[in-house]
Each structure stands twice: as C-alpha cells, then as structure tokens.
C-alpha cells in the first residue's frame, strides 16, 4: 500500500477551475445560492465526484454529497462545506472545504486505499444566506434543525424569487428526504476568516466550537433641541445615550477578555445636523462568546447599563433581538485528533473558537463534529481579495486526510 499524499497541483487546479465559475472582472467570485452560477458550480462538482467514482446523492434542499463506498457500509465519515458565495466573495470561503474533501478522496484513490467505513464529501446549499435568509440553510435542513417547507418558501432578499422555485429551476431539488442521514462523524476545513492564525504565524486551527451570537438593536428616543440654547442638564440626547451604550459594549468585551467580542456595526442618529441635539438614535450590538453563561452575562450587563444611561438622560430605550444563536461545542475527541494530526506533521497548531457560523455547527448536536481552520491573509473575508496561501491549504488538507483515514479506518 502506498501512503496517501495530498497533491497540491490537483487541489489548486480544482480551486482555480471552480473560481472561474461566477468570476468577477476585478477578481473574486459571485456564486449566490441558486443562481445560474451556482448551478454551473454544482454541475462541475458533480462531474468531479463522478470522475472520482463517488456515488452522488442530492436531497430535497439541494445538498450534494458524493460517497466513497466501503465494505462495511453504514453512515459515512463526512467532509463538507459549501460552494455558494456572497456577492463579492473569494475563491476559498466554502469552496476550499469542498475541494480539499475531493482531494482527500483523490489521494485515497491514488494510493489504492480502501476504508472500513464509507467516506463522503458534501456541498451544502446556501450556507452564506446572502440571497436567501437564513444562512446555513442546507445543512440546517439536512440535520433537521430547519423546517424544509419553510425554507422552500423563502423569498429572495434581492427580488421576488422563491427558494423552492429557484431550486427546481436549476435542477437541484433532489430525491433524498430531509434529515434522513446522520454521518458517523463530520469534519469541515474552512478558511479562518479572521486574522489570528496569520498574526500568530500558526498554520492550523483546531476549532473547539462556534461562538454563540447575540444581535440586539437599541433604539433610543429623546428630544431634538438647539445645540446652543439648551443647557446640558435640560437635554434628552438620544445620540449621547447611544454613544455611551457603544462604549459600554466595548468595555464589557475588554473586561471579559477573549473570546468575548462586541461590535457596534450600525450607528445612526437623527436629524443628523451639526447644531441639533439628536432626537433619535439606533445602534446594533453584536456580542459573541463560546460560553453561553458568559454571553448571557454580557447581554444582561449591557442591557442594564443601557437602561441606566437612557434613564439618566430622560430618553426612552427600546431593544429588539435581531438574532440569537447559542454557542456550539465541537467533539473533544475529534478536536484532539485534529491537534494531534497537525503536530504529527510538524505543523504549528492552536485551539480556537470560530467567530463565524459554519455548516459544521448543524452536525455538532447529532454526531462527533469538528473543524480545521487555515489562515486567511490579513483576516480578509467576504471580500474579493480573500486569500489563503497554497502551502497552508495543503497543510490543512493533509491534516484532514490523516483524521479522516483515522476515523474511517484502513481495510487491511
């Protein structure tokens, strides 16, 4: 038996080839879910799966997976990610995970290795949520976390297109029922989409889980007043309250320490004139933590301070939850295997949470799941200049190969 090895040439050729589908003239790609470009990407993927001898399955929400059969049968060890992108996406977000999966299969084939358990590679529909909300739709339906009919009825954010109709139109409404298969284990390679690995010069991230996300909108109403004639003590300045909440949101994240993060991404005031005290302000706060207890504590502290700030200024405060996902913890044994596989290959590795959502989190409640992160240049993500070095991708592919082979077992 030959020892299987990742081929950088094969891997990069597929990344380059898929990157041509929906390529933007200035660089980057646009393969929004269920568009013609998504269909072309899917067709290419299916043709590659067939070339590699995989059994192709397509389910009712358009998820595609190719299975490398094994004597023993049963649920496969699954690798997966997505090939849809945001409107100005890069070549690696999602595609890297799917194509590294194909390369793992190619390497096993080339080495003539048979596994005890089947190995599969999957591309899940509409992970980005850029054209149809919510995100992680395909993996969510696949693992029973989202309702199929509700998802099929979703209307596009950019017009009147209905998800189910678009899925039919591109020919990817498949026969496999929703929530009908749980893999034996799930592994996903993904670009970090953040700066940590690059800044710390580490090649592999052994992802311990996905941060819980809490999005809250704070709307403050006060009173519009003349900036010159209204003493500070007689003001009801909605903008001042919003600024205080923003500063407090940051203070909480700094006080809690990593992995707590906090972001005020939206900050609007009205009427928005130099010499008028703002009557209205709207901000959003994005809080994330891997520990739900801490995340709840951060939410509660900020809410209390926001109320105090609004009360002190004689303003009203209304808050609205825009999104709330509890943190997801990956399987400790699997995370340790990723770490060990990296170390065995002399690759630098660190444990880290994922700050962004991924398909893997839909599998985590149902089967042992984990992720492998590779560095993102300058942390750029959802950007046409998103980039990951070839050497880093190959390193990640080798780690994935080793863990998959360990989990699937070699037939002697």
Angle ∠(277,278,284) on CA atoms, nearest 5: 150
Stretch that binds a second copy, among 18-26, 157-165, 334-342, 374-382 (CB under 8 A): 374-382
Binding marks (x or -) toward a second copy, 241..280, rule CB under 8 A?
-xxx-xx--x--xx---xxxxxxxxxxxx-xxxxxxxx--
Any contact of residue 228 with a second copy (CB under 8 A)? yes
CA distances 393 to 330, 355, 363, Å, are: 22, 20, 23
With CB under 8 A, what is the number of residues at the site for a second copy? 64
Does residue 252 contact residue 264 with C-beta atoms inside 8 Å?
A: no
Binding marks (x or -) toward a second copy, 279..308, rule CB under 8 A?
--x--x-x-x--------------------
By beta-carbon proximity to a second copy, the closer residue of 154 and 376 is: 376
User: Rounded to the nearest 10 degrees, what angle do helices 8-19 and 95-110 cross at?
Assistant: 140
Any contact of residue 201 with a second copy (CB under 8 A)? no
Q: Cite the beta strand spans of 348-408 per DSSP E.
A: 349-354, 369-374
**Shortest separation between residue 228's beta carbon and a second copy, angstroms:** 3
By beta-carbon proximity to a second copy, the closer residue of 170 and 253 is: 253
Which residue has tokens 């300058």? 378
Q: Which of 403, 376, 388, 402 is nearest to 12 (CA)?
A: 388
- Token pair belonging to 350: 């660190």
Which one of 316, 355, 406, 409 is in contact with a second copy (CB under 8 A)? Answer: 355
CA distances 274 to 69, 270, 271, Å, are: 68, 11, 9
Does residue 206 contact residue 342 with C-beta atoms inside 8 Å?
A: yes
Any contact of residue 215 with a second copy (CB under 8 A)? yes
Any contact of residue 354 with a second copy (CB under 8 A)? yes
Which one of 7, 40, 230, 366 is in contact with a second copy (CB under 8 A)? Answer: 230
Which one of 10, 169, 382, 387 is in contact with a second copy (CB under 8 A)? Answer: 382
Any contact of residue 26 with a second copy (CB under 8 A)? no
What is the SS3 assignment for 99-156?
HHHHHHHHHHHHCCCCECCCEEEEECCCCCCCCCCCCCHHHHHHCCCCCHHHHHCCEC
212-221 and 328-329 as β-strands: parallel, antiparallel, unpaired?
unpaired
By beta-carbon proximity to a second copy, the closer residue of 115 and 289 is: 289
Any contact of residue 120 with a second copy (CB under 8 A)? no
**Taking the mean position of all CA atoms in its chain, how far away is CA 397?**
19
Any contact of residue 322 with a second copy (CB under 8 A)? yes
**Shortest separation between residue 108's beta carbon and a second copy, angstroms:** 31
Which chain residues interact with a second copy by CB under 8 A? 192-196, 199, 211, 213, 215, 224-234, 237, 239-240, 242-244, 246-247, 250, 253-254, 258-269, 271-278, 281, 284, 286, 288, 322, 354-357, 379, 381-383
């Amino acid at each position: 038996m030959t020892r299987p090895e990742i081929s950088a040439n094969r891997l990069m050729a597929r990344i380059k080839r898929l990157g041509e589908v929906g390529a933007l003239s200035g660089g980057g790609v646009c393969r929004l879910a269920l568009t013609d470009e998504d269909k072309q990407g899917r067709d290419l993927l299916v043709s590659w799966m067939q070339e590699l001898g995989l059994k192709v399955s397509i389910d009712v929400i358009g998820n595609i997976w190719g299975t490398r059969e094994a004597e023993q049968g049963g649920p496969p060890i699954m690798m997966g990610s997505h090939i849809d992108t945001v409107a100005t996406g890069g070549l690696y977000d999602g595609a890297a995970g799917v194509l590294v999966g194909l390369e793992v299969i190619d390497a096993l084939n080339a080495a003539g290795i048979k596994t005890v358990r089947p190995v599969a590679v999957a591309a899940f529909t509409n992970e980005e949520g850029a054209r149809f909300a919510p995100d992680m739709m395909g993996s969510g339906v696949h693992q029973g976390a989202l309702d199929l009919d509700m998802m099929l009825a979703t209307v596009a954010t950019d017009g009147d297109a209905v998800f189910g109709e678009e899925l039919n139109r591109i020919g990817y409404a498949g026969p496999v029922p929703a929530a009908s298969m749980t893999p034996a284990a799930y592994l996903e390679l993904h670009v970090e989409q953040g700066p940590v690995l690059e800044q710390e010069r580490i090649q592999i991230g052994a992802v311990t889980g996905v941060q819980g996300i809490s999005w809250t909108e704070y709307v403050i109403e006060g009173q519009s007043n003349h900036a010159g004639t209204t003493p500070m003590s007689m003001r009801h300045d909605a903008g001042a309250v919003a600024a205080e909440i923003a500063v407090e949101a940051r203070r909480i994240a700094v006080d809690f320490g990593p992995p707590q993060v906090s972001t005020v991404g939206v900050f609007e005031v009205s009427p928005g004139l130099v010499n008028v005290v703002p009557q209205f302000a709207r901000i959003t706060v994005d809080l994330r933590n891997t520990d739900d207890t801490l995340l709840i504590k951060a939410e509660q502290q900020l809410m209390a301070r926001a109320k105090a700030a609004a009360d002190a200024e004689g303003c009203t405060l209304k808050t609205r939850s825009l999104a709330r996902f509890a943190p997801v913890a990956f399987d400790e044994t699997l995370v340790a295997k990723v770490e060990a596989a990296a170390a065995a290959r002399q690759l630098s590795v660190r444990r880290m949470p994922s700050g962004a959502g991924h398909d893997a989190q839909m599998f985590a409640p149902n089967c042992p799941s984990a992720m492998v992160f590779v560095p993102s240049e300058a942390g750029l993500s959802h950007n046409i200049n998103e980039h990951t070095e070839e050497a880093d991708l190959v390193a990640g592919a080798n780690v994935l190969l080793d863990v998959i082979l360990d989990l699937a077992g070699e037939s002697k």
